[in-house]
Amino acid sequence: MKLSNIPLVVLVVFSLQNCKERVQFSRPDDISGIFVDFNSTEKVKDQLLKKDELFLSAYNELIRKAEIALNEGPFSVMDKKRIPPGGDMHDYLSMGPYWWPDPAKPDGLPYIRRDGEVNPETRGEHVDTDTKNKMFNNLETLAWAFYFSEENKYAGKAVELLETWFVNPETRMNPNLNYAQGIPGRTEGRGIGIIDFAGINKIITPVRILEKYGKLTPETRDKLYSWFGQFLDWLLTSDHGKDEADEHNNHGTWYDVETAGIALLLGKTDTAGMILENLKQKRIATQIEPDGSQPFEIARTRSLSYSSMNLRGFIHLANMAQIVNVDLWDFKTPDGRGIRTALDFLLPYATGEKKWEYHQITGLDDALDGLRLNYLIAASKTGDKRYREVINLMPEQPGNLEILLYPDL
C-alpha cells in the first residue's frame, strides 16, 4: 500500500474544510505533547485544510471512533465486581494474564504459568483490566478528535473520563498498582503488574491537549497533577516499583516510559533526564545485542509481538529524551547496541525479506502490522527513508491514528 495512493473515503464532514484559516487557540506553543510533537501535528492540521487524502482518511476514522466514544462510559475502578484484597474498591485490580488453574489440584491453587496464553478469567467484569483499556483508548480518541476537529463535544467527554477515573472522590482510582497482576494462590499483586499502565501515553498527551486549549478547570488540572505526583512517588519508592525498575526485559523498558513520561508531565525534568540518560546502560546495553536482536523478547512464546512491543517502548523513550537533550536515537554502545540497531535487525522481517523464525503462538500478520507502525514513528524522527517505506507494505488500513501523529512533513 503506497501512502500516497490511499483512497479518500469521506465518512464525516471535516469541520474545518470551509474555513479560510484555522482557529488559533491560546498558548499554542508553550505546552509539550511529551509523546507527540505538536509542531508536527499542527502541520497535519494544515494538510487537512488542503484536503490531503492520506490524512483525511485517517481523520475520518478518528472521528468515526470518537462519535462512538461519546456514548460510552465514563469508566471507573468502582465498576468491577470483585473486591481487591485490601477491601478498597478504589484500588486497581488485575490478574496475571498467563496464569491458569493447576489441573492437578482440586482447587486449582496455586495457579501455573502458560506463557502467551491468556486466561479468560483475567479479563471481564471482575477486574479492572478491560475497563482501564477502554478508558485509555477512548480518552486518546476523544482528545485527538477534539484537537483535529476543534469540536468541543469531544473535549467535554474526554474531561468527563479523566475526572471520573482520576479526580472524583466517589469514582477515582487510588494512585497505586498494589494489586495489579495478582496470581491466585501465589500473590495479591506484583511489580510486573505496573506494565498494565504501559499505555500512559494515551493519558498524558490528552491531558496536555486539554490543558493546552484551556479545557481543564484549574481545580481539575491541580487534582490530576496531584494524582500523577502521588503515582510517580509510588512508582519510584514502593517495593513493587523497585521490583519493576530492576526488570531486564520489556517490563523495565515500559517502567521507564511511565516514570519518565509522568516526570515530564509534572515538569520534573531532572528526574526525567536521569531516567533517560541512565537507560543507555541499564536498558539498551543489556537488552539489545550488537546485531540488534532482543534476546529476552525472542525467548518468549510471542517473540515477534514482544520484540515489537519493547521496541515501541524504546521509541517512546527516544522521543521523550529529545525534550531533555538526551540523544537516544543515535546512541550506540562501543559494540553497536542501540535503538537504531534494533530497528535494523527487525527491518527485513517487517519488509518480508525474511520470515520470522522464532516462536510466535499468536497471529503473525497482526504482529507484523504492529511492528510496521514502529517504523512509521521512527521515520518521522530519524528521516530514514527505509523506515518510511515499510508502512507501504501494510494492508489497506488508512485509519491508524499514528498517520496523523507522526507525519513525514
pLDDT attached to residue 392 = 78
How confident is the model over 69-128, as pLDDT tens digits?
A: 999 999 999 999 999 999 999 999 999 999 999 999 999 999 999 999 999 999 999 999
Is the link from the previous residue into 295 a cis peptide, with omega within 30 of 0?
no
Higher-confidence residue of 20 and 384: namely 384
Contact between residue 351 and residue 291 where contact means Cβ atoms under 8 Å apart: no
How confident is the model over 377-395, as pLDDT tens digits?
A: 999 999 999 998 898 777 6
State mean pLDDT over 342-360.
97
State mean pLDDT over 19-34.
55
By C-alpha distance, which of 271, 267, 255, 265 is closest to 205? 265
d(CA 139, CA 157): 8
How confident is the model over 66-82, as pLDDT tens digits?
A: 999 999 999 999 999 99
Half-sphere exposure of 148 (CA within 13 A, CB side): 29
Is the link from the previous residue into 110 a cis peptide, with omega within 30 of 0?
yes
By C-alpha distance, which of 258, 257, 342 is closest to 304? 342
What is the CATH number that goes with domain 3-405?
A: 1.50.10.100
d(CA 127, CA 125): 6
How confident is the model over 293-333, as pLDDT tens digits?
A: 999 999 999 999 999 999 999 999 999 999 999 999 999 99
At residue 95, φ and ψ (nearest 5 deg) are -120, 150
Beta-sheet pairing, 179-182 with 93-95: parallel
By C-alpha distance, which of 223, 212, 177, 318 is closest to 261? 318
